[in-house]
Amino acid sequence: GAVVSQHPSWVICKSGTSVKIECRSLDFQATTMFWYRQFPKQSLMLMATSNEGSKATYEQGVEKDKFLINHASLTLSTLTVTSAHPEDSSFYICSARIPTRAGTRSYEQYFGPGTRLTVT
Amino acid sequence: GENVEQHPSTLSVQEGDSAVIKCTYSDSASNYFPWYKQELGKGPQLIIDIRSNVGEKKDQRIAVTLNKTAKHFSLHITETQPEDSAVYFCAAIRSGAGSYQLTFGKGTKLSVIP
């Protein structure tokens, strides 16, 4: 399957600082990437959909000024958690979708390894 | 919107036995059903998927079945091994002209007892 990488795999930061998480598609171009958040023992919660060259679409309840998403190229999307607070501590996972066949609307979705954020 | 129910939430089986996880979905327009395996501290890994024009798909020890009429799909793991222990998520996607929305189930924690 397709490979999606994330960096860093874990990060500890102090309250009030900002943290940037990178998501890369390694062997394919992804026009659309997704950012999820996962709390312990829970399912994945979609935060936003990141489209290359345009503004991200945020899910209801997700603060776009707090979680800045930039999808500057077909292989890179970044999530910046601004002015982080302890309640932002979570497991953040990016995902990319690729068409199963070029030119079709049939997709597969692959996930990165996740980034564990701890805000102290 | 779509709603995906997944059962059971936890499942323990003896090594070598079979494991079955079931999901139901609400949106009859959903047409793609992937299954993901998530090990502790890692991202979900796509292990098998099925599209709405197929009733069953098998890949070695894992298989997925789909009943469109009843709107449910299941994951079957045979000859389970300790390394199968993980959390499994089902998902349903409505993919088509102008739309793409993936909805996850709440997950099933599978424990394979040696």
Cα A89 from Cα B98, distance rounded (Å): 34
Res B6 pLDDT > 90: yes
* β-strand partners of A96: A33, A110
Average pLDDT over residues B64-89: 97
Average pLDDT over residues B64-80: 97
Q: What is the pLDDT of residue A39?
A: 93
State how beta strands B10-14 and B108-113 pair.
parallel
What tokens were used for B81? 């091994």
Q: What is the pLDDT of residue B17?
A: 98
Cβ of B100 and A107 within 8 Å? yes
Which of B3, B84, B71, B1 has its CA nearest to residue B31?
B71
Residues in contact with A34: Cβ distance below 8 Å, sequence separation at least 6, in sequence order: A46, A48, A49, A50, A94, A95, A96, A97, A109, B102
Whether chain A has a CB inside 8 Å of the CB on B33: the answer is no
Q: What is the pLDDT of residue B102?
A: 86
Cβ of B100 and A43 within 8 Å? no
What tokens were used for B11? 């499942």
Whether chain B has a CB inside 8 Å of the CB on A57: the answer is no
pLDDT band, residue B1 (cuts 50/70/90): confident
Res B5 pLDDT > 90: yes
Cα A68 from Cα A26, distance rounded (Å): 22
Tens of pLDDT, residue by residue over B7-56, are 999 999 999 999 999 999 999 989 999 999 999 999 999 999 999 888 99
Cβ of A43 and B104 within 8 Å? yes
Give, for all 120 residues of chain A, the pLDDT tens digit. Answer: 778 999 999 999 999 999 999 999 998 888 889 999 999 989 999 999 998 888 899 999 999 999 999 988 889 999 999 999 999 999 999 999 887 766 666 788 999 999 999 999
Cα B112 from Cα A11, distance rounded (Å): 32
Cβ of A116 and B41 within 8 Å? yes
Considering only CB atoms, which chain B residues are within 8 Å of A43? 89, 104-107
Which of B36, B26, B103 has its CA nearest to residue B64?
B36
pLDDT band, residue B99 (cuts 50/70/90): low
Q: What is the pLDDT of residue A54?
A: 85
* β-strand partners of A19: A81
Residues in contact with B15: Cβ distance below 8 Å, sequence separation at least 6, in sequence order: B80, B81, B82, B112, B113, B114
